Structure 1
Amino acid sequence: MATRHEGCARCGTQPNTSRHELTTAMHHLCPRSRGHSSLSRRFTACQALERKKSLAYGIIHSAIRNVEQEMNNNPLSIPRQAIRRVTPDVTVKARRPSGSTYQVPTEMGSARGKALAIRRSLWASRKRPGRDMAPKPSIESMDAARDGGNATRRKEETRRIAEANRAFANPRLYQ
């Protein structure tokens, strides 16, 4: 018999009784203190290359400190706003119905969109010039919060491709 999830021992959040909430409760990340949010943990997990999670942790938290020094407000509000601006609504998938390949626009869910936004934001910060990685995520997130930066540009490129290929899309996607 399956046991019901009792909630988080640290923060005490209780999941609803629906099956979806019970399965997502297993992946619950509780915030411990300032700078230990679920967003910073997701950034750290995506930043970690070749099993170097402690190095990724240091990079992300120095970026959070840089944002706090630059903006003089809640340090996680800028990355949240940047992720909101970089999150795509539509993506294109390659389909081969009859020999030729079409880029078909499809709607994107919020969880997948947020994961893609985090990956693209880190991709854009790695592409920035300079040797030191520590200031790059903070600069990229501040640029994305102002509707600039490479991650925002990539989102707009994808949206433009989807708009150009809307003839191949499901008709209710563009109503």
Structure 2
Amino acid sequence: MQDDLVFKTGMAKRTLGWFVCLGAAGALVAMIYTIYTHPENQTSEELWSGVAIGVFLIGLMVFGIAMQYVRWSIEGENIVYHRLFKRKSIPISDLAGFGQIIISVMVIPFQHLDLYDHKLNHIARLPVSLKDWPKAEAWFAERLRYVVNDGSHILPKLRFADTPKN
């Protein structure tokens, strides 16, 4: 369908994904090279710990690749959240509100869209690039109400923007 909206993660998050993937791959290659060139210095315990570290580094590589693949789209009456190994469909009729959250990691902002149901239960957190936020916000503002957090990330006090504070 040509009217479908597709949103991908921002450039900063994709760059972070490549950094994680390539860093883990470099560490794995360095570890394999060290074990291969000096096998006489390795005990069986060190080899098994190398295997465990290798599995962990492969997991980090998969995580870095998964950060590249994350996207979500609005297809008809559903929001479809695509991940590396999973696809989740969220009916828009189940949603009542949305909010924005910006998570800064080392001065780099990562923007997300939070979706809530009628009882203000958190349904999903979808990544949005900074340039796509106005388009996503306009689409959701037509259909859902804003959700405001008067508390903190740890102890949220959620309310719809049009309801008065208590």
Larger Rg: 2
TM range (shorter): under 0.3
Name the TM-score, length of structure 1 as normaliser: 0.26
Higher strand proportion (structure 1 or 2)? 2
Relative to the length of structure 2, the TM-score reads 0.27
- Which of the two has greater helix per residue? 1
